Amino acid sequence: MDTGRGKSGDKGVVYLVGAGPGDPKLITVRGLECLKRCDVVVYDRLASPRLLRYLKPDAQKIYVGKLPDRHTMKQEEINQLLVDLALEGKTVTRLKGGDPTIFGRVGEEAELLRDNGIEYEIVPGITSAIAVPAYAGIPVTHRDLASSLSIVTGHESPDKLDRSIHWDKVTNATGTLIFLMGVAKIGYIAEQLIRHGKRPDTPVALIRWGTRVEQRTIVGTLESIERIVKEAGFQPPAVIVVGDVVLQREKLQWYERKPLFGVRVLVTRARAQASELADRIEELGGEPVEYPVIEIGEPTDAAAVQAIESALDMAEQYDWIFFTSVNGVEYFFRWLRSCNIDIRRFHRARIAAVGPKTAEALIARGLTVEELPAKFQAEGMLEQLDSELKPGQKALLPRGDLAREVLPRELKARGLEAVQADVYQTSVADHQDELALEWIRDREIHAVAFTSSSTVTNLFEVLRRNGIDDPAEALAGVDIVSIGPLTTATAVKAGLQVTVEPEEATIDALVEALVRHQANGRGLL
């Protein structure tokens, strides 16, 4: 890409990108490149909102999506918007659901760009016509059942459908028929296919919001599908598959059988830490909604900085260094670098870690860690090392400004000198996803994962700042997933009912506990 674009007086460039059908990981590598580098993204509702997290912090977001009952912006206005943005010298990504060349009206957008002398590129996407059936366990072709397919728009009135579709030719032209946007016309479509030669018992599947957490599939035949759709209250958007390949669903379902399928989980960890938990949820078929309510950073107050520097400068005096979080490890080493302190100056100190992830962070830096406690909290570490802690010893505690006072208090009670160094500070995050907030308001979040007490208190603060006066009531009925007893106590005090708490305070154990909870709810255990 031309990194010189966007200069005053220069025309920008527009990338017409297919975002795929809904699962954010189905976007192409090229599409993701365009998204990461753009100044403005123009997107619709069929593009996954999770893709917006890849934007530059200062990128502008413009929603032009259409809803069944209203149009937020006419197509002609969208076309002109792309031109106007490019004429301002901006790099624009037009993010469209599925593939932009399949009923995506990309030709109209590209034509106006060309007429205005604006450079553009069409970036193909994975079309819902293929991906959505695949996520429902339906291959659109099969060696024994269908060697060809047709993709047809169903989003027209019957008279327009009759003008645009030659039913006598389409009906039996290919082994599989795919209709996009045809839920409201399913009865008419089935009637025409039967009239022109399809067997009344031809299998039909409708997949709503395919590849997303809301995915729902119903199956019938041409003669029964209209009744099934009405009885189920089935609504668009959906992909319609007609043909014997639908029978493969009984054998090949995979996405809907994942243990967290259908579960939307609010992840409240700091953005830098959220990916591990989000990835685990996604692998298991759930949809993680990253809604960071805490921000981690270095203290900037002069007195706090001086206290850290003084604590580290006594490196040779320490008998112990107690690490209680991965953040403590990360920021401890950042301060060593900024203060130009060699880790070898701590040669006298034994190193203790509160849990396996903290230990892994230390081991990755070539440090040996004392035996891990059975309980992954300060009390467990004190219990494990009780016989090794001697009066007169000196201990360094690199930690956050909101850390509990248990460890320094108990060390002092045993006669040790505990030097606290608040190497990082925690604050309420200011920038959250508006869509996630909308889901909370509309009760479309199924679970909230809390990984520390601060994520509980900060979520409540963020929700109040955004007009939700009673966060506990807004989260009533939502599965509250707490990483451990201390976090649970904070959640309960805030008025929440904790439904999931793992035996071990780790991310892996938290996810496994959520899976078991969901399995119990579905009667799978």
Asked if 352 and 444 sit in the same domain, the reply is no
The reply to whether 381 belongs to the active site is no
CATH number for the domain that contains residue 362: 3.40.50.10090
Would 100 be classed as within a structural domain? Answer: yes
3 within some domain: no
Distance CA 501, CA 485 (A): 8
Same domain, 420 and 460: no
Last residue of a domain, one of 84, 102, 126: 126
* pLDDT, position 357: 84
Number of domains in the chain: 4
pLDDT at position 128 is: 94
Q: Cα–Cα–Cα angle for 433, 436, 442, nearest 5°?
A: 145
Residue 477 CA to residue 444 CA, distance in Å, equals: 11
What pLDDT, on the 0 to 100 scale, is given for residue 141? 96
Regarding whether 279 and 168 lie in a shared domain, the answer is no
Closest by Cα among 130, 140, 139, 136 to 257: 136
Do 385 and 474 share a domain, yes or no?
no
- Contacts of 503 by beta carbon, 8 Å cutoff, 6+ apart: 509, 513
One domain, residues 44 and 79 = yes
d(CA 133, CA 219): 12
Predicted pLDDT at 8: 41
**Is 96 annotated as catalytic?**
no
State residue 103's pLDDT score. Answer: 86
Whether 7 is in a domain gets the answer: no
Distance in angstroms (rounded) separating the CA atoms of residues 39 and 1: 13
| 3-class secondary structure per residue, 222-257 | CCCHHHHHHHHCCCCCEEEEECHHHHHHHHHCCHHH
Start-to-end Cα distance in the chain: 52
424 - beta bridge partners?
400
Q: Does residue 8 sit within a domain? A: no
CA–CA dist 464, 146 (Å, integer): 55
**136 in the same domain as 251:** yes
Range of the domain at 64: 13-126
Longest dimension (CA), the chain: 93
Which residues have CB under 8 Å from 50's CB, separation 6+? 24, 289, 290
CATH code of 24's domain: 3.40.1010.10
Examine the residue annotation and report whether 1 is marked as an active-site residue of this protein.
Answer: no
Q: What is the pLDDT at residue 372?
A: 67
Is residue 190 domain-shared with residue 281, that is, in the same domain? no
Residue 372: Cβ-neighbour burial (10 angstroms; 0-12, 13-18, 19+): middle
Residue 4 lies in a domain: no
What is residue 9's predicted lDDT score, i.e. its pLDDT? 53
From 10, 66, 73, 319, active-site residue: 66
Which of residues 426, 454, 479 is at a domain's end?
426
Per-residue pLDDT of the chain (525 residues; tens, 9 = 90+): 444 444 445 899 999 999 999 999 999 999 999 999 999 999 987 778 788 889 998 999 998 875 544 556 788 999 999 999 999 999 999 999 999 999 888 999 999 999 999 999 999 999 999 999 999 999 999 999 999 999 998 766 666 666 778 899 999 989 999 999 889 999 999 999 999 999 999 999 999 999 998 999 999 999 999 999 999 999 998 999 999 999 999 999 999 999 999 999 999 987 666 678 988 999 999 999 888 888 888 988 899 999 999 999 999 999 999 998 889 999 999 999 999 999 999 999 999 988 788 899 999 999 988 866 656 566 777 878 888 899 999 999 999 887 778 888 989 999 999 999 999 988 888 766 777 888 899 999 999 999 989 899 999 999 999 899 999 999 999 999 999 998 999 999 999 999 999 998 888 999 999 999 999 876 443
433 shares its domain with 373: no
Can you give the pLDDT at residue 218? 97
Domain boundary among the residues 408, 426, 444 is at 426
The answer on 99 and 57 residing in a single domain is yes
Selected catalytic residue, list 39, 44, 99, 479? 44
Residue 1: the pLDDT is: 42
Determine, yes or no, domain membership for 1. Answer: no
User: What pTM did the predictor assign?
Assistant: 0.78
Catalytic pick from 23, 96, 181, 357?
Answer: 181
Whether 5 is in a domain gets the answer no
